Structure 1
Amino acid sequence: MASNRPAPGAPFVPAQRTDDTVVYGGPRTDEGPWEEWNPTAETVRPVRGGRHRVAKQRGGLARGGLARSSTVLGVGVIAAVGAGGMATAQTGKPPVAISLPDLATFTDDGEDTAEPATAIEATPLSSLGVTPADSEQGTTDAGEALRARIMAQAESQQEQLDTKATEALLAAAEKEAAEAAEKAEQEAREKAAAEKKKAEEEAARKAEEERLAELARQFALPTSSYTLTSTYGQAGSLWSSGYHTGLDFAAPTGTLIKAVHSGTITQAGWDGSYGYKTVLTLDDGTEIWYAHQSSISVSVGQQVTTGDVIGRVGATGNVTGAHLHLEVHTGSGGGVDPLAWLRGKGLNP
């Protein structure tokens, strides 16, 4: 519009007042007479830019018409309710305030009314109907909820770490206990085996002692009051073979000579360098030779038992002094160590 159109002319009608007109405070004498005012282009200030003036929006937003403002308001409500609500729920921040444009009052023909434009107070759409205390409480609750979630997550992680540490300690303890148990079991087995072996050895020793005791009752030393001088296998020029073939019991002449075991006399008499010699053949074929005797008390074919006297110690034959020369020959004819043989029979010369 370029300008306001002039109002049509109207006839002047003087104010009609009667004395019986009731006016608050009584009749007024300072009123009237009224004159008709017909606005003209000179008396009416033109509208700048050819548009109706609209009060500026707070915050510097451009103000449009009522239809455009209503559209912006509807879209803003939807966006603010969705985004603002999500922001409040997700981040715990206070709701974003969305301002509404100040709307001017329009007439049906689009012209400004006489009343000045009134600005509509901006209200955050996401917190409509919520008091500041409620908003603050909601923010606080959201912050506390976030803090609680963080603390719960931290506690859960700590519990997981503690659980893993506990499980590691338990596993180490179980492993150590298993190793200790295995070691103890191994030691127990070794101890049991050692005790068993010791018991077996002790039993064997006792059995051997009993056997030797029984043999000792069956066998006897060839003489008494003696001293062992030359042993079996001893080398020297005194013997024609170059070594000693028996065991010498040095004893005074006339000391009794006994049968070491029961058997049969198979030789009795003089035998060159052996002097007077007696041969006792045992049941298993072993031969016992007694040499250098001063006298013989048995004859060939005679049966003797353990401990029977068969002669006396002397110094006959090739000798350097009175002694009993004792030799042991197996059934095959080979000689053995008399000392070892006697010990094998439970005797200890």
Structure 2
Amino acid sequence: MASNRPVPEAPSIPAQREPETFGYGAYRAEEGPWEEWNPTEDSVTPARGRHRVAKQRGGFARSSTVLGVGVIAAVGAGGMASANTGKPPVSISMPDLPSVGSLFADGSADSAPAQATATLSSVGASAAEGEDTTDAGEVLRNRIMAQAEQQQGQAESRATAVALAAAEKQSADAAAKAEKEAAAKAAEAKEKARADARKAEADAKKAAEEKRLAELAKQYTLPTSSYTITSTFGQAGSMWSSGYHTGLDFAAPTGSLIKAVHSGTITEAGWAGSYGYRTILTLDDGTELWFCHQSSINVTAGQKVSTGEVIGRVGATGNVTGPHLHLEVHPGGQATGIDPMAWLRGKGLNP
């Protein structure tokens, strides 16, 4: 049988050493051996800036510096973005690194900064994506809020327009109603003024007429006293030859005095057939007054008489049924007479 090939000899491993600095719990072969370095004034360059790093030997110091600068740059970029956008800063989570040495697995100090930079770049990209997403959501939210405010403003504008239109219509209706009421009141006041004017005019005319009649009443008088009106003008009956009564009858006792109604001239005094004893008094305006059925006559033709002067006495001569004075009024001496009652009232007398 063939025998197995002999196992190659294991490489020599340095003797185990006590744990040194950097916080590792055991000695790691890939990290050593380390050479002790005691800096002097000649070997150390004086620091001329706040951020200068003292010279160290080995690749770890350079790698740590690169990593720190990358972290500071990332954090600074995040802070500037937060300050510019006004939004809270984005938290950056560092990857879980088991050890600094694992970044340098190939043992090359030059590749460590590239790996650290790539890791920080990926973290920054993730933060940028989150920030872009947040900005897009904020823009959408602002746009929705702007549209909502615009719609609310339009609704309020429409409501305000409707309210203004309603208020204007109400004001117009109120103004029209007030104008109509004012016109009605004005017309009513105008009509009342006209009625008052007509009433005042009528009252004035009435007062003037009363005054005139009062003055005439001083010039005119009733033909007798203690009488009773028994027949009026126009009364129909077979007792009168014309078929109706042509005068006004004052029934009074025989012998009652008959007076001149107004001043004038006696144009006739004597017997007149069915009128009995009659006296005709002609006034200055030509009106004839007939006094009929007298029992006696006290004047003669051509005699001037004044108002209230006695011209005869009441009797029952002619066509009569009892003692009374039959009075007729003939304007202008015409044959047909008028109503003596109306004529006497026109002179301010009330039989």
- TM (normalized to structure 2)? 0.62
Q: 2: distance between equivalents of 1:130 and 1:298?
A: 147
Counterpart mapping for 1:184-203 below 5 A: 184-203=185-204
1:63 is matched with: none
Which residue number in structure 2 is paired with residue 41 of structure 1? none
The equivalences for 1:175-190 within 5 A come to 175-190=176-191
Q: Secondary structure at the residue paired with 2:231?
A: coil
Structure 1 equivalent of residue 341 of structure 2: 339
Which residue number in structure 1 is paired with residue 27 of structure 2? none
Judge conservation of contact 2:272–2:278 (CA < 8 Å) in 1. yes
State the alpha-carbon separation in 2 of the partners of residues 24 and 286 from structure 1: 171
Q: Secondary structure at the match of 1:237?
A: coil
Matches within 5 A, 1:33-112: none
The DSSP-based 3-state class of the residue aligned with 1:324 is strand
Question: What is residue 316 of structure 2 aligned with on the other side?
Answer: 315
AA in 1 matched with 2:301:
V
Residue equivalent to 1:98: none
Q: Distance in 1 between matches of 2:156 and 2:144?
A: 18
Q: Which amino acid aligns with 1:325?
A: H
Give the CA deviation at 1:304.
Answer: 1.1
In 2, Cα distance between equivalents of 1:122 and 1:133: 15
Q: CA RMSD in A?
A: 2.8
Task: Compute the displacement of 1:330 (Å).
Answer: 1.5
CA deviation string 1:190-216 (max 9, x = no partner): 111111111111111111111111111
1:148 aligns with 2:155: no
| 1:39-89: CA deviation from partner (whole Å, max 9, x where unpaired) | xxxxxxxxxxxxxxxxxxxxxxxxxxxxxxxxxxxxxxxxxxxxxxxxxxx
Question: CA separation in 1, counterparts of 2:188 and 2:176?
Answer: 18
Residue of structure 1 equivalent to 2:73: none
Aligned equivalent of 2:261: 260
Q: CA deviation at 1:173?
A: 0.6
* Counterpart residue type for residue 279 of structure 1: I
Greater fraction helix: 2
3-state SS of the aligned residue for 2:278?
Answer: strand
| Alignment check: 8 A CA contact 2:230 2:251 kept | yes
Amino acid in structure 2 at the alignment position of 1:341: W
Q: Which residue of 1 aligns with 2:219?
A: 218
Question: What's the offset of the Cα at 1:347?
Answer: 1.1
Report deviation, 1:123. Answer: 7.8
- Give 5+ residue unaligned stretches, structure 1: 1-22, 27-114
- 1:157 matched to 2:164: no
Query: Counterpart in 1 of 2:205?
Result: 204
Report the counterpart of residue 6 of structure 2 in structure 1. none
What SS does the aligned partner of 2:292 have? Answer: strand
What CA distance in whole angstroms lies between the structure 1 residues aligned with 2:125 and 2:148?
A: 29
- CA change 1:134–1:266 in 2 (3 A) is same
Counterparts of 1:301 and 1:218, CA distance in 2: 21
**Is 1:295 aligned with 2:302?**
no
Letter in 1 for 2:269: A
Partner deviation per Cα, 1:197-250 (whole Å, 9 max, x = no partner): 111111111111111111111111111110111211222222222222111100
Q: Secondary structure, in 3 states, of the residue corresponding to 2:313?
A: strand
Residues 181 and 128 (structure 1), Cα distance of their counterparts in 2 relative to 1, 3 Å cut: farther
1:25 to 23, 32, 45: 32
Asked if 1 retains the 8 angstrom alpha-carbon contact of 2:288 and 2:333, the reply is no
TM-superposed CA distance for 1:335, in Å, is 1.1
The 3-state SS of whatever aligns with 2:312 is strand
Matches of 2:31 and 2:211 in 1, distance apart?
A: 158
Q: For 2:31 and 2:345, how far apart are their aligned partners in 1?
A: 165
For 2:214, what is the secondary structure of its paired residue? helix
Deviations 1:117-164 (A, max 9, x none): x9989989xx97945554444333222222111111111111111111
Instruction: Give the match's secondary structure for 2:342.
Output: helix
Return the alpha-carbon distance in structure 1 between the equivalents of residues 136 and 252 of structure 2. 131
Q: 1:342 to 1:25 in 2, by over 3 A?
A: same
| Equivalence for 1:330 | 331
Q: Is the 8 A contact 2:251 2:323 kept in 1?
A: yes
* Separation in structure 1 between the aligned mates of residue 184 and residue 216 of structure 2, nearest angstrom: 46
Deviation of 1:258 after TM superposition, in Å, equals 0.8
CA distance in 2 between partners of 1:327 and 1:249 (Å): 11
Which residue of the partner structure matches residue 175 of structure 2? 174
Instruction: Tell me, in whole angstroms, the C-alpha distance in 2 between the residues paired with 1:348 and 1:226.
Output: 13
Distance 2:209 2:199 in 1: 15
8 Å Cα contact 2:293/2:317 also seen in 1: yes
The residue type paired with residue 345 of structure 2 is: R
SS in 2 for 1:335: coil
Shift of 1:332: 4.7
Give the match's secondary structure for 1:229: strand
Q: 1:24 to 1:180 in 2, by over 3 A?
A: closer
Corresponding residue for residue 59 of structure 1? none
CA-to-partner distance for each residue in 1:159-191, whole Å, 9 max, x for gaps?
A: 111111111111111111110111111111111
Aligned counterparts of 1:226 and 1:324: Cα–Cα separation in 2: 9
Distance 1:174 1:309 in 2: 78
Structure 2, unpaired ranges of 5+ = 1-29, 34-114
Shift of 1:25: 3.2
